[in-house]
Amino acid sequence: MLLKNKGKCIIFSAPSGAGKTTIVHHLLEQNFGLEFSVSACSREPRPQEVDGSDYYFLGVEKFKELIEKDAFVEWEEVYSNNFYGTLKSEMERIWSEGKTVIFDVDVIGGLNLKKQFQDDAFAVFVQPPSYEELEKRLRGRSTESEEKINQRMEKAHKEMAFSSEFDAVLINDNLKEACNKAEQLVGEFLQKK
């Protein structure tokens, strides 16, 4: 993998509904010099989602074409024909601006990024207080079918087993406290040489 301007990156991963996106958005509002790495995906946008801001919505064929061209730092087929990944060009853009890349990615994507960037990456696993709370949060979104919720819960059970492979586990049972702890963890990592 050839990446120019290599810098640091911060990775937030969690089962869907654990609160990682909210925490990442909070961190972006702080004065850490972070910039969000917009992931690419093959799915259609949800209502209110904006191409190039929430995700790069590529469609299945374009995504597969970019896999062939080695355009991704990491990618994964999360569900059948449902791909997510990180474009090399996105990371290079952020590093060329002198900023630190921050990721909001699924658990396997987070581990793949940590494996590639090692000491230049800080990986945080955001853990829900319980499976029951996680299911309640997913249902509260009112954006997913019963089948999707069941898929996500099944996946969450598998993902929780990987928490010990991250640099830090952040339990999100109180959002304000979780955001404060995330600030502390990120600040400590960025101060290291």
| Maximum distance among all Cα pairs of the chain, rounded to whole angstroms | 47
Task: Give the tens place of pLDDT for each residue, 139-191.
Answer: 877 777 888 888 878 888 899 999 999 999 999 999 999 999 999 999 999 99
Model pLDDT, residue 4: 57
CB 170 within 8 A of CB 19: no
Task: Give the tens place of pLDDT for each residue, 1-22.
Answer: 456 557 899 999 998 878 899 9
Quickly count: other Cβ atoms within 10 Å of residue 30's Cβ: 13
Task: Give the tens place of pLDDT for each residue, 121-130.
Answer: 999 999 988 8
Q: Is the dihedral of CA 30, 15, 83, 45 positive or negative?
A: negative
Quote the pTM value: 0.85
- Per CATH, the homologous superfamily of domain 9-191 is P-loop containing nucleotide triphosphate hydrolases (3.40.50.300)
CB 38 within 8 A of CB 86: no
Greater confidence (83 vs 134) lies with 83
